[in-house]
Amino acid sequence: MNINKPNQLVMEAKNLIRFFFLLSFGAFMIFTSCVKEGPMGLPGVDGVDGVNGKDGKDGKDGTASCLACHNKTTKTLVSTQFAGSAHGTMPNKQTGANCVACHSAEGFIESLTNVTTKTFTALTSASPLNCESCHTSHKTFDFANDGPDYALRTTAPVKLFMDQTVTLDLGTSNLCVNCHQPRSTKPAANTEGNFVVANNRFGPHYGTQAVVLDGRWGYHHDGSTAIPGVGSHAHRKNASCTSCHMHDGSSTTGGHSWKVNPASCTSCHPSINSKEAITASKTEFYTLFNQLGEKLLQAGALRTTTAGGLEPNPGTYPIAVAGALFNYRMLYGDHSGGIHNPAYAKALLRNSIEALN
């Protein structure tokens, strides 16, 4: 039996009475107030439209800045150039502990953890450089404030490992300086004023580009040609490894071919506008360079190889001769025909020739 039901009905009836009472009171209030106010007026005339606001500035396309590099055309071009370059093929890969820092992808990454020495774990097999040797993740994605950072692995100034007192700061090109730096210093005289050339590899090795560009590292004889100041040449101040070797990478030169595009010279030298013009601009250097070679051959410091080239002849030489031989080897290893620093290269050659006269 449901004993709650009658009670519930009573409650509902009471609520109903209270509801009707409130309803009739409300209706009375509305009625009396309608009587006090007059009838509603006609709607007013529409106001004149306001002047249009100025258009906002266009927003930046969220990915446009990324697509400048991250697209198929760029990737194909860069990869093709790279595949044909000396970095991508590395015909002179090396596995030795003293060599891997510059001559292998593996050793280079390891070398960046400790730049004060170039001696690292020997490898069983060395790989040529790859994209990740020089690029990592972007440092920041804040392109608006930081500019595109090209995701370079390092752009830190480089302390030369053969002379820790020298730090080179070439901006983006610091990446290159890590490897394109010398492997020995200029000769110093013993108590008899001589120097012993120990083997036919005497000299600062082939990576002398960074110091030649900066105008240092050579043996400075007291000669009639003034040695230009360190860092003074226009090629050091207003050009860079990347501006000459990676200029406009849209063809077979520049970019990731690292072959000099003559267009990188033209803005400063309007007449140097072709490969041939670059070669011609080396003439004065090679005239002096070959004169020095001849003098060193006469002094016995150079000897001819079976292949017909010239190489250091081991032996004991007066320091002026050993210094001249060092300069010859440094400018040979630089491989630019003096272009990296024409003023410094020619001053070294002139004074070296004078010292051998």
Residues in 123-142 at the binding interface with ligand HEC, rule: CB under 6 A:
129, 131-135, 137-138, 141
Q: What is the DSSP secondary structure assignment for residue 281, as one 8-state letter?
A: T
Choices 38-46, 53-61, 169-177, 305-313; region in contact with ligand HEC by CB under 6 A: 169-177
Q: Characterize the bridge pairing of strands 194-197 and 302-304.
A: unpaired
Residues 197-256 that bind ligand HEC (CB under 6 A): 205-207, 209-210, 213, 233-235, 238-242, 244-246, 249, 255-256
Q: Are 330 and 205 in contact (CB under 8 A)?
A: no
The total number of residues shown for the chain amounts to 357
Distance CA 276, CA 99 (A): 34
Side-chain-side CA neighbours of residue 213 (13 Å): 26
Closer Cβ to ligand HEC, 155 or 194, answer by number: 155
Helix (H, G, I), strand (E, B) or coil at 334: helix
Q: Are 207 and 320 in contact (CB under 8 A)?
A: no
Taking the complex as a whole, the smallest distance from the CB of residue 161 to ligand HEC amounts, in Å, to 7
Long-range contacts of 75-78 (CB under 8 A, 24+ apart): 77/249, 77/250, 77/255, 78/249, 78/255, 78/256
Closer Cβ to ligand HEC, 14 or 135, answer by number: 135
Q: Are 231 and 214 in contact (CB under 8 A)?
A: yes
Closer Cβ to ligand HEC, 50 or 308, answer by number: 308
Closer Cβ to ligand HEC, 205 or 299, answer by number: 205
Closer Cβ to ligand HEC, 235 or 320, answer by number: 235
Q: What is the end-to-end Cα distance of the chain in Å, rounded? A: 136
Q: How far is CA 176 from the centre of its chain?
A: 7
Taking the complex as a whole, the smallest distance from the CB of residue 221 to ligand HEC amounts, in Å, to 20
Q: Are 301 and 317 in contact (CB under 8 A)?
A: yes
Residue 339 interacts with ligand HEC (CB under 6 A)? Answer: yes
Distance CA 161, CA 38 (A): 99
Taking the complex as a whole, the smallest distance from the CB of residue 66 to ligand HEC amounts, in Å, to 3
- Per-residue binding letters, 284-323, with ligand HEC (x by CB under 6 A): ----------------------------------------
Residue 160 interacts with ligand HEC (CB under 6 A)? Answer: no
Closer Cβ to ligand HEC, 264 or 351, answer by number: 264
The binder of ligand HEC chosen from 173, 313, 327, 351 (CB under 6 A): 173
Choices 4-12, 15-23, 257-265, 321-329; region in contact with ligand HEC by CB under 6 A: 257-265
Query: Which residues, in sequence order, are CB contacts of 279 under 8 Å at separation 6+?
Result: 337
The binder of ligand HEC chosen from 313, 336, 351, 352 (CB under 6 A): 336
Q: Are 146 and 156 in contact (CB under 8 A)?
A: no
Closer Cβ to ligand HEC, 78 or 299, answer by number: 78
310 forms beta bridges with 304
312 forms beta bridges with 302
Phi-psi region of 94 (alpha: psi -120 to 50; beta: other; left: phi over 0): beta
What is the number of helices (H) and of strands (E) in the chain? 17, 6
Residues 57-116 that bind ligand HEC (CB under 6 A): 65-66, 68-70, 74-75, 78-79, 82, 86-87, 90-92, 94, 96, 98-99, 101-103, 108
- Per-residue binding letters, 3-42, with ligand HEC (x by CB under 6 A): ----------------------------------------
Closer Cβ to ligand HEC, 202 or 258, answer by number: 258
Taking the complex as a whole, the smallest distance from the CB of residue 146 to ligand HEC amounts, in Å, to 11
Closer Cβ to ligand HEC, 210 or 292, answer by number: 210
Taking the complex as a whole, the smallest distance from the CB of residue 44 to ligand HEC amounts, in Å, to 54
